[in-house]
Amino acid sequence: MFVFDCTAIIGYDAYHAFLEDCKGRFLAEKTALFREYGVLSSFDESAVTGYFEFRRKYRELRQNVIRQVIARFRSFLPDRCLIYEFGSLVKLTDRIESDIDLTIVYDEPKNSIRETAELLINYAIVTVFDHPIDHIHGKFQHYPVTDAYDALTPEDNRYELRFDAGTAVFSCPWPSFSENIMNIKNVRDYASLIAGYAEKYALRCNIDCLYSIAILENTSGHDFIGDLAALENASDIFEGYCHAPASFAPGDTVSVSRIKKALKGAVVDMYVMMAFLRKRLPWLREYSMTAEEFFENPVIRDFLGENCLKELKSRFIVMTFYWDKIELCLKKRGIPLSARHQKDFTAAELNALLFQDYRKTEMLSEIVRAVNGLNDAVTACWEIINRKTGREPRS
């Protein structure tokens, strides 16, 4: 069990009122937005045409919550901080149920007040969004080597936020518990953060997350973007990289885990292809890059061709549309669309659930076609890249 004493930060009634206020306003705006775009209504594929606009509005709604929560507890963190987001919300490849990649870094030592303030921020955000606690994390932290959490058991998996007149008790999905508690309790100074990014470049991994940065605050005195750019310029993370075309064929039985991996894999492959062109074409002026910038960039359009780029954007929107549909359907029944969730469905069972919500038959086949449509569009882009740059495709 991990106990966090909140009495020096906020009272139980005040925290509860803050959560209720944030969640009430968020749900009211979310409900209106979902109704406007028919997100939860019976299936209508014409809704795909407005999905880019819907996603932009919903993303900003979520970002407003994140900014509001951080502002409420900012005074309990050091004066000099780096606070930033990365991942799908910054890449603009997010879904309705996307998790939040939020990193808070400071060079001053950790103490119980700062640690508790971070957890109050995290718990507030996931409560408003109706997510489990492991939906908010800072995976790009470079955790110092420690064996402090190696012996954790399911019995340890209990968080308590203790207030003056009450307690908030919650737990974390067990496979991610150790990682989640490290996210709060381990030292996150700037040197270890940059060491983590250097490690990614050295190992040539996590390419899809390296270039998605949205700084909410940088009073740290460190040139974060400059340091990231220096790491990028010091090596070619794509040296020896070859795209391997992907295909999704679930068969008669499919696990939730496999569905999630197929959906995420298609988007990751798209973003990796975008990242490859960072140094090959003069299309990007900033360090961070987004899918929307890529789709609308004239340099990219001239290189890939207007039809190819238009097809890529169309396939991406359609797949995101279907991703949201199945994720909302499963969540409604208490099933997280997670790579860690091993529940199996037959095709008939999954189609029946989807039909209950959207009144469309054989919808699983449409989801599979959407995933493979984006996979094929990404492969078509790589064929153009290989042809124009003289790269050898993987056999």
- SS3 string, 241-292, reads CCCCCCCCCCCCEEEHHHHHHHHHHHHHHHHHHHHHCCCCCCCCCCCCCCHH
What is the token pair recorded at 272?
């990796």
Report residue 203: phi and psi, to 5°: -90, -5
Q: What is the CA radius of gyration of the chain?
A: 22
Element (H, E) at 102: strand 100-105
List Cβ<8 Å contacts ≥24 apart for 213-216: 213/84, 213/85, 213/86, 213/90, 213/287, 213/288, 214/84, 214/85, 214/86, 214/89, 214/90, 214/288, 215/82, 215/83, 215/84, 216/66, 216/67, 216/70, 216/83, 216/84, 216/85
Please report, for the chain, the start and end positions of each structural domain, with discontinuous segments joined by +: 2-233, 253-389
CATH topology of domain 2-233: Beta Polymerase; domain 2 (3.30.460)
Report residue 59 CA to chain centroid gap: 12
Low-confidence residues of the chain: pLDDT under 50: 395
pLDDT of residue 395: 43
pLDDT of residue 168: 95
- Provide the residue count of the chain: 395
pLDDT of residue 140: 60
Residue where the block lists tokens 């803050």:
18
